[in-house]
Amino acid sequence: MATGRTHRPATRSRGIPEATVARLPLYLRALTALSERSVPTVSSEELAAAAGVNSAKLRKDFSYLGSYGTRGVGYDVEYLVYQISRELGLTQDWPVVIVGIGNLGAALANYGGFASRGFRVAALIDADPAMAGKPVAGIPVQHTDDLEKIIKNNGVSIGVIATPAGAAQQVCDRLVAAGVTSILNFAPTVLSVPDGVDVRKVDLSIELQILAFHEQRKAGEETAVGDGALPAATGRGVAAGDSADQGPDGDVPAVMPA
Amino acid sequence: MATGRTHRPATRSRGIPEATVARLPLYLRALTALSERSVPTVSSEELAAAAGVNSAKLRKDFSYLGSYGTRGVGYDVEYLVYQISRELGLTQDWPVVIVGIGNLGAALANYGGFASRGFRVAALIDADPAMAGKPVAGIPVQHTDDLEKIIKNNGVSIGVIATPAGAAQQVCDRLVAAGVTSILNFAPTVLSVPDGVDVRKVDLSIELQILAFHEQRKAGEETAVGDGALPAATGRGVAAGDSADQGPDGDVPAVMPA
DNA sequence: AACTGTGAAGATCTTCACAGCA
DNA sequence: TGCTGTGAAGATCTTCACAGTT
pLDDT of B247 strictly over 90:
no
C-alpha distances (whole Å) from A143 to each of A148, A156, A171 are 11, 16, 12
In angstroms, rounded to a whole number, what is the distance separating the alpha carbons of residues B40 and B124? Answer: 40
CB neighbours of residue B214 within 10 Å: 23
Q: Which CATH number fits domain B18-87: 3.40.1800.10, 3.30.70.141, 1.10.10.10, 1.10.3430.10?
A: 1.10.10.10
- In this structure, of B57-71, B142-156, B166-180, B242-256, the range with the lowest mean pLDDT score is B242-256
Q: How deeply is B8 buried, as exposed, middle or buried, from its count of CB atoms within 10 A (0-12, 13-18, 19+)?
A: middle
Cβ within 8 Å of residue A64, ≥6 positions away: A16, A17, A20
pLDDT in tens, B67-87: 999 999 999 999 999 999 999
DSSP E strands in chain A: the ranges are: 41-42, 69-70, 74-76, 94-99, 119-126, 135-136, 139-143, 158-161, 182-185, 198-201, 238-239
A224 touches B at CB < 8 Å: no
pLDDT band at B192 (very low <50, low <70, confident <90, very high): very high
CA–C1' A73–D21 (A)? 10
Kindly report the CA angle at A203 between A197 and A206, in degrees rounded to 5? 125
List chain A residues with CB under 8 Å of B218: 181, 196
Residue of least CA–C1' distance to D16:
A56
- A255: which strand partners? none
Cβ within 8 Å of residue A232, ≥6 positions away: B176, B177, B181, B194, B196, B197
- Residue B220, pLDDT score: 77
In angstroms, rounded to a whole number, what is the distance separating the alpha carbons of residues A9 and B187? Answer: 38
pLDDT band at B114 (very low <50, low <70, confident <90, very high): confident
C-alpha distances (whole Å) from A79 to each of A22, A42, A52, A84, A234 are 20, 11, 21, 9, 36
In angstroms, rounded to a whole number, what is the distance separating the alpha carbons of residues B136 and B147? Answer: 17
Footprint of strand D on the protein (CB under 7 A): A 8, 11, 17-20, 53-54, 56-57, 59-60, 70-73; B 1, 6, 42-45, 55-56, 59-60, 62-63, 67-75, 251
Cβ–Cβ below 8 Å for B238 and A9: yes
The arrangement of strands across the sheet holding A41-42 comes to A41-42, A74-76, A69-70
- Residue B223, pLDDT score: 57
In angstroms, rounded to a whole number, what is the distance separating the alpha carbons of residues A222 and A219? Answer: 5
Name the phi and psi angles at B237, rounded to 5: 120, 140
Residue of least CA–C1' distance to C14:
B57
- Residue A222, pLDDT score: 62
DSSP 8-state class, residue B203: B
Picking from B103, B117, B236, the nearest residue to A106 by CB comes out as B103
- Residue A230, pLDDT score: 30
- Residue A243, pLDDT score: 37
C-alpha distances (whole Å) from B6 to each of A233, A235, A238, B1 are 20, 16, 11, 7
Picking from A9, A107, A201, the nearest residue to B248 by CB comes out as A201
pLDDT of B172 strictly over 80:
yes
- Type of residue found at A143: H
pLDDT of B5 strictly over 50:
no
Residues 35 through 94 of chain A touching chain B, CB cutoff 8 Å: 50-52, 87-90, 92, 94
- Residue A117, pLDDT score: 78
pLDDT of B43 strictly over 60:
yes
C-alpha distances (whole Å) from B4 to each of A26, A54, A201, A241 are 20, 9, 31, 14
- A91: which strand partners? none
B18 in Cβ contact with B34 (< 8 Å)? no
- Residue B173, pLDDT score: 98
A25 touches B at CB < 8 Å: yes
pLDDT of B12 strictly over 50:
no
DSSP 8-state class, residue A222: I
Cβ–Cβ below 8 Å for A198 and B236: no
Mean of all residue pLDDT scores within chain B: 84
B202 in Cβ contact with B221 (< 8 Å)? no
A90 in Cβ contact with A60 (< 8 Å)? no
In angstroms, rounded to a whole number, what is the distance separating the alpha carbons of residues B146 and A126? Answer: 38
Q: Which nucleotides of C are covered by protein (CB under 7 A)?
A: 1-8, 11-17, 20-22
Residues of chain A below pLDDT 50:
1-13, 225-258
d(CA B226, nearest CA chain A) in Å = 15
List chain A residues with CB under 8 Å of B222: none
Name the phi and psi angles at A100, rounded to 5: 100, 90
- Residue B191, pLDDT score: 98
Of A87, A82, A86, A74, nearest in space to A47 by CA: A74
Global pTM value: 0.85
**Domain ranges, ordered by start, for chain B:** 18-87, 94-201
- Residue B222, pLDDT score: 62
A157 touches B at CB < 8 Å: yes
CATH no. of B94-201: 3.40.50.720
CA–C1' B61–D9 (A)? 18
Of A47, A21, A17, A15, nearest in space to A32 by CA: A47
CB neighbours of residue A78 within 10 Å: 15
